[in-house]
């Protein structure tokens, strides 16, 4: 009976037993190659963190942002706003932002095997994320040299609380909402729109 309960608990929480002995991103990626079908993960100082799929209710955010990016000079120059792309922090940390901007030059370097950070990360706040989860991610991005982080709070249940928090450092942020114009300057100065349009 105890074995059956343990098996049921394991199935309910995760179908994959994640290793706890890995120390570096390289070790994690070697493990991941052998378990590619078992999910999408971030790796932070020995912890393997499962990345949840974007919910259908949040897909409109991805659609809006990627279409807005196509109108930028960065896109015309070969830059890309990738969904769920690896963003390397250091030897022990790798994140996967919901959207991540890479320049054309970075894409060439990635093709040559370089592990790079993103210059601009966009995250959509998940119901399961704690305040510490959010601040840890933001710190990681800036540790890697990221210049700008947006944290989007979709709150489809409470439209008046829909906001985008813009971080220019781990300790400096400003919230935008409603008809306020948000810009991804200095990284992408022509990537801008009214916040309300994102949630329309």
The string of pLDDT tens digits covering residues 34-72 is 887 667 899 999 999 988 777 777 889 999 999 999 999
DSSP 37: G
Structure confidence at residue 23 as a pLDDT band (50, 70, 90)? very high
Q: What residue spans define the domains of the chain?
A: 2-49, 54-199
Structure confidence at residue 13 as a pLDDT band (50, 70, 90)? very low
pTM, entire model? 0.87
**Mean pLDDT to the nearest integer, 137-146:** 98
**In 73-119, where do the E strands start and end?**
80-83, 87-90, 93-95, 99-102
Give the whole-angstrom CA distance, residue 83 versus residue 109: 18
Q: Give the pLDDT confidence score for residue 11 in this predicted structure.
A: 25
**Mean pLDDT to the nearest integer, 137-143:** 98
Selected residue with higher pLDDT from 154 and 13: 154
The b/e string for 65-86 (b: 16+ C-beta within 10 A; e otherwise) is beebbeebebbeeebbbbeebb
DSSP 157: T
Residues shown for the chain: 200
Q: Give the pLDDT confidence score for residue 4 in this predicted structure.
A: 39
**Mean pLDDT to the nearest integer, 105-112:** 96
**Using DSSP, how many helices (H) and how many strands (E) does the chain show?**
7, 12
CATH number attached to the domain at 54-199 = 3.90.1570.10
**Pairing verdict, β 181-184 and 188-194:** antiparallel
């Amino acid at each position: 009976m105890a074995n059956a309960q343990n098996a049921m608990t394991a199935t309910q929480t995760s179908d994959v037993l994640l290793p706890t002995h890995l120390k570096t991103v390289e070790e994690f990626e070697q493990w991941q190659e052998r378990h590619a079908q078992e999910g999408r993960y971030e790796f932070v100082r020995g912890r393997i963190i499962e990345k949840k799929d974007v919910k259908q209710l949040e897909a409109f955010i991805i659609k809006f942002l990627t279409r807005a990016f196509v109108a930028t000079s960065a896109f015309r120059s070969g830059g890309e706003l990738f969904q769920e792309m690896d963003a390397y922090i250091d030897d022990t940390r790798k994140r996967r932002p919901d959207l991540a901007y890479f320049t054309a030059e970075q894409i060439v370097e990635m093709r040559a095997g370089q592990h790079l950070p993103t210059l601009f990360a966009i995250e959509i706040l998940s119901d399961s994320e704690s305040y510490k989860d959010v601040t840890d991610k933001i710190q990681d991005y800036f540790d890697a040299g990221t210049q700008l982080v947006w944290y989007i709070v979709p709150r489809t249940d409470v439209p008046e609380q829909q906001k985008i928090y813009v971080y220019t450092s781990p300790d400096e942020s400003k919230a935008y909402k409603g008809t306020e114009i948000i810009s991804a300057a200095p990284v992408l100065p022509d990537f801008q729109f009214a916040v309300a349009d994102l949630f329309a």
